[in-house]
């Protein structure tokens, strides 16, 4: 690129939560595969709040770092809200910060939360027109459910959000043309709740009693009824990582515009190995062995065009939909 450096992504992990370690490894690997410079910071579980904030401040100031991701959950005693409030919003590649959530709520989306954005991009790629659809989001967390509802609203759906106070979750799911499950409980949504032909996006990554990785939706039975359904593993997992990398490149581009006054989209020129192919290999390797070295590759692509390509790459890795049923 014209900057003479690739986009940079810092991924911070505190402690050794087993699931987090897998997610973090996959994110770093995909970044390196895509030619994004990956800065790994692994801190002990006993790290103090002030030491963690000091690291965030240092990354905020580091010109090589365009994106900062602090993996959640944090160990007990560390306050996620304090950490988020310390990250520079222009480097918030998770899209978790109050500033970025607020912009999304006002239809002024900047860096968008990765999983919800991934759902929207998958829907677009499969030709699911969201405007006017009845959408039910199950789960109201700050990192998936709430921003998911905002994304669907932005896309013109009529949105219901289910949470612990919801009286009849089954009824809300059963009338939905589109369901997003973001609960974090294995098979929380029985397949026979799904309306025939509905689109089902399963964000859950859980272990069932036998230790097998399963989603929040009872997949086999739901797949008999749904028009579209994302698998676990392999659906929103890789899609989330693709959106993270897209955010890192978008952040790099915007920061370069600010720092160098060049036109947006002009900084990271196509160069070296195409980002897309590298990303695809990175995602294929997800959960597998082949770790790539990121070895000095230059990021290719122009930020403005990049995200659709990333989505397309991730899409190829999602199992093809079953029969498509008109909603």
Give me the residue whose beta carbon is nearest to ligand GUN.
72
Q: How far is the CB of 116 from ligand GUN (least distance, A)?
A: 10
Contacts with ligand GUN by CB under 6 A lie at: 69-72, 94, 114, 143, 240
Whichever of 75 and 197 has its CB closer to ligand GUN, that residue is 75
Q: How far is the CB of 73 from ligand GUN (least distance, A)?
A: 7
Contacts of 33 (CB under 8 A, 6+ apart): 278, 279, 281, 282, 285, 292, 294
Whichever of 75 and 265 has its CB closer to ligand GUN, that residue is 75
Q: Annotated catalytic, 195?
A: no
Whichever of 119 and 198 has its CB closer to ligand GUN, that residue is 119
Whichever of 97 and 299 has its CB closer to ligand GUN, that residue is 97
Whether the upstream peptide bond of residue 137 has omega within 30° of 0, thus cis, is no
Whichever of 70 and 135 has its CB closer to ligand GUN, that residue is 70
Q: What is the C-alpha separation between 237 and 217, in angstroms, rounded?
A: 15
**Beta strands across the sheet bearing 37-43:** 37-43, 8-14, 67-70
Environment class of 195 (CB within 10 Å of its CB; exposed 0-12, middle 13-18, buried 19+): buried
Using DSSP, state whether 135 is helix, strand or coil: strand
> Which residue among the candidates 13, 29, 71, 309 is catalytic per the annotation?
71
Q: How far is the CB of 192 from ligand GUN (least distance, A)?
A: 29
Q: Annotated catalytic, 76?
A: no
Q: How far is the CB of 176 from ligand GUN (least distance, A)?
A: 24
Q: How far is the CB of 240 from ligand GUN (least distance, A)?
A: 6
Q: How far is the CB of 25 from ligand GUN (least distance, A)?
A: 13
Q: Annotated catalytic, 58?
A: no
Type and span of the H or E element at 42: strand 37-43
Handedness of CA 202, 73, 146, 122 (dihedral sign): negative
The answer to whether the beta carbons of residues 269 and 9 sit under 8 Å apart is no
Helices (H) and strands (E) in the chain, counts: 11, 10
Using DSSP bridges, classify how beta strands 213-214 and 206-207 pair: parallel, antiparallel or unpaired: antiparallel
Environment class of 142 (CB within 10 Å of its CB; exposed 0-12, middle 13-18, buried 19+): middle
> Which residue among the candidates 92, 94, 177, 253 is catalytic per the annotation?
94
Q: What is the C-alpha separation between 233 and 94, in angstroms, rounded?
A: 21
Whichever of 3 and 59 has its CB closer to ligand GUN, that residue is 59
Catalytic residues: 27, 71, 94
């Amino acid at each position: 690129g014209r900057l003479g450096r690739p986009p940079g992504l810092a991924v911070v992990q505190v402690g050794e939560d087993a699931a987090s370690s897998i997610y973090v490894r996959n994110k770093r690997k995909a970044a390196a595969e895509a030619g994004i410079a990956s800065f790994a910071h692994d801190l002990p579980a006993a790290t103090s709040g002030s030491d963690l904030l000091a690291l965030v401040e240092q990354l905020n100031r580091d010109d090589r770092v365009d994106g900062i991701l602090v993996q959640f959950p944090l160990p007990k005693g560390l306050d996620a809200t304090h950490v988020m409030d310390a990250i520079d919003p222009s480097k918030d590649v998770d899209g978790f910060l109050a500033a970025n959530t607020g912009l999304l709520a006002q239809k002024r989306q900047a860096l968008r939360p990765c999983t919800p954005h991934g759902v929207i991009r998958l829907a677009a790629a499969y030709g699911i027109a969201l405007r006017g659809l009845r959408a039910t989001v199950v789960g109201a967390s700050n990192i998936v459910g709430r921003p998911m509802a905002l994304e669907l609203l932005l896309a013109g759906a009529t949105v219901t959000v289910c949470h612990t106070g919801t009286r009849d979750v089954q009824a809300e799911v059963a009338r939905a043309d589109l369901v997003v499950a973001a609960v974090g409980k294995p098979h929380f949504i029985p397949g026979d709740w799904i309306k025939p032909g509905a689109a089902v996006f399963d964000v859950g990554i859980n272990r069932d009693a036998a230790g097998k990785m399963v989603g929040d939706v009872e997949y086999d039975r739901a797949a008999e009824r749904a028009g579209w359904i994302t698998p676990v593993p392999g659906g929103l997992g890789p899609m989330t990582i693709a959106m993270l990398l897209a955010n890192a490149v978008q952040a790099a581009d915007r920061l370069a515009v600010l720092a160098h006054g060049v036109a947006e989209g002009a900084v990271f020129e196509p160069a070296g190995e195409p980002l897309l192919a590298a990303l695809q290999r990175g995602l294929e390797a997800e959960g597998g062995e082949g770790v790539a070295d990121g070895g000095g590759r230059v990021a290719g692509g122009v930020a403005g065009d990049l995200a659709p390509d990333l989505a397309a790459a991730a899409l190829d890795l999602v199992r093809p939909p079953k029969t498509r049923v008109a909603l």
